[in-house]
Amino acid sequence: MSNQTVDNHSPRDSGERPLTSEEIRLASEELRGKEPWEVLQWGAERFGKSMVLACSFGYEDVALVHMLHRVAPETDIFYLDTDLLFPETYETRDRLAKALDKSFIRVRPEYSLEEQARLWGGELWKRDPNACCGIRKVSPLRRFLKDYSAWCTGIRREQSPTRAHTEVVEWDHQFGLLKLNPLAYWSTGEVRAYIREHGIPYNPMHDRHYPSIGCVPCTRQVRPGEDARAGRWSGMAKTECGLHPSGEF
- Could you list the active site residues? 241
Contact (CB, 8 A) for 93 and 67: no
What number of chain residues touch ligand SF4 (CB under 6 A)? Answer: 13
230 binds ligand SF4 per the rule CB under 6 A: no
55 is in an annotated binding site: no
Measured from the CB atom, the residue of 23 and 128 that comes closer to ligand SF4 is: 128
Given a contact cutoff of 8 angstroms between Cβ atoms, the answer to whether 228 and 211 are in contact is yes
CA distances to 28, 29, 31, 86, 188 from 168, in Å: 5, 8, 7, 29, 16
Q: Would you count residue 129 as binding ligand SF4 (CB under 6 A)?
A: yes
Q: Is 152 annotated as a binding residue?
A: no
Local structure of 47: helix, strand or coil: helix
Task: Report if residue 133 touches ligand SF4, rule: CB under 6 A.
Answer: yes
217 lies in the binding site for ligand SF4 (CB under 6 A): yes
d(CA 123, CA 56) in angstroms, rounded, equals: 22
DSSP 3-state assignment of 107?
Answer: strand
Is 215 near ligand SF4 (CB under 6 A)? yes
Q: Nearer Cβ to ligand SF4, position 69 or 136?
A: 136
Identify residues 63-92 at the interface with ligand SF4 (CB under 6 A).
82, 84
Phi, psi (degrees; rounded to nearest 5) at 209: 70, 35
Residue 73 makes CB contacts below 8 A (sequence gap 6+) with none
> 221, 231 in Cβ contact below 8 A?
yes
**CB nearer ligand SF4, residue 53 or residue 215:** 215
Taking the complex as a whole, the smallest distance from the CB of residue 32 to ligand SF4 amounts, in Å, to: 31
Q: Is 215 annotated as a binding residue?
A: yes
Q: Applying CB under 6 A, which of residues 125, 148, 186, 194 lies at the interface with ligand SF4?
A: 125
Contact residues toward ligand SF4 (CB under 6 A) are 82, 84, 125, 129, 132-133, 136-137, 214-215, 217-218, 241
Q: Give the residue ranges of the annotated binding site.
A: 132-133, 215, 218
